[in-house]
Amino acid sequence: MRLLALAALTLLPALPLNSFPIAQDCPGQMVGGKFVCTGADLDSVNISGNWQEEVPADSPEPDYGGSFDGGDSGYEDSGYGDSSTSTGAADSTDASSSNPLGSNLSVGLATGTASGTPSFPTTVTVTDLTRAQPNSARIHMEPDGWALLNSPTNFWIETGAPRVQTTLFNTPVTVEFVPTRVQWDYGDGTTTTTETLGASWSDLNQQPHTVTQTSHTYTTGGTYTVHATIHYRAVVHVNGTSINVSGTIQQTATTAPIATYRFSTVLTPNP
């Protein structure tokens, strides 16, 4: 029989051993794996002391399923790894580590890289952009505020600043909104979709009252309100990387009521 001191390793499974106290004041012998006092008054025997474990002589060395810095695995009588030595103490806690087994021992635990800040996701959807919306857009028209019957009225959209600063997934980001198309409702039952925001006649180098991609001609007198729905795609700029947002964002702009007028030529005699 051989005796090994059991270290207080809370992370390792307990061995199926028989425990017994070593009596300090009791002479005796081992019988059937147990210590039996002989030649002493058992009522006055002092059995205080250290607990020991009995291990059969032919027991294999236990495999703790761990890994060691030096590349060896399993338990060795000489120490816990290549760079640590056994002190013979019941609890060999490394003062520089909270691991009571020392910094060189890993027992049955998955390893990985720890990080205090989670990485930014590679996929972002429009539902994630609850804090970021496009700046307000405005519809311009010419003639300004009124329309001439049977003559093109030109409309175009001025969007706000394309970039918005916000926080996404606890990270400061810049969201860029890029217009992709506009759905126009001219108020008289006519609708159309354009891939441009439009522009003024002067910016288009066109003559006034000429047709543009976003113009409309009213043929019936009345007062009309124009609605424009702008569709945007979004791009998130974060940590030097640009991420295209899945889905589109819509924004609506509306004009004030537009009065229409008829142009007539009247001949009058000279006074």
Q: Based on the fold, state whether residues 84 and 213 are members of the same structural domain.
A: no
194 and 218 both lie in a single domain: yes
What 8-state DSSP symbol labels residue 128? G
Sequence-ordered list of residues with C-beta below 8 angstroms from that of 249, at least 6 positions apart, any chain:
126, 129, 133, 134, 177, 231, 232, 233, 234
The reply to whether the predicted model has a pTM over 0.75 is no
pLDDT at position 75 over 60: no
Select from 74, 109, 144 the last residue of a domain. 109
Predicted pLDDT of residue 74 = 42
Residues 200-211 have pLDDT tens digits of 999 999 999 999
Residue 263 pLDDT grade (very low, low, confident, very high; cuts 50, 70, 90): confident
- The pLDDT assigned to 72 comes to 44
Among residues 79, 109, 139, the one where a domain terminates is 109
Residue 20 lies in domain:
1-109
pLDDT of residue 155: 98
Q: Do residue 33 and residue 80 come from a single domain?
A: yes
User: Can you list the positions of beta strands (E) in the chain?
Assistant: 2-4, 18-21, 28-31, 34-37, 51-55, 66-68, 105-107, 124-125, 138-142, 146-148, 152-158, 163-168, 171-185, 191-194, 216-217, 223-224, 227-238, 241-246, 249-254, 258-261
How far apart (Å, rounded) are the C-alpha atoms in residues 249 and 269? 60
**What's the pLDDT at 27?**
61
Share of the chain above pLDDT 90, in %: 47
Residue 269 parent element (H or E): none
Looking at the fold, whether 92 and 144 belong to one and the same domain comes out as: no
Instruction: State whether 128 and 233 are in the same domain.
Output: yes
Shared-domain flag, residues 10 and 89: yes
Average pLDDT over all residues of the chain: 73
Count of domains observed in the chain = 2
Query: Is it the case that residue 138 has pLDDT exceeding 90?
Result: yes
Query: What is d(CA 226, CA 191) in angstroms, rounded to the nearest whole number?
Result: 10
Q: Residue 238 is part of a domain; what is its CATH number? A: 2.60.40.10
Residue 29 lies in a domain: yes
**Co-location of 207 and 232 in the same domain:** yes
Among 20-29, 69-78, 206-215, the range scoring the smallest mean pLDDT is: 69-78
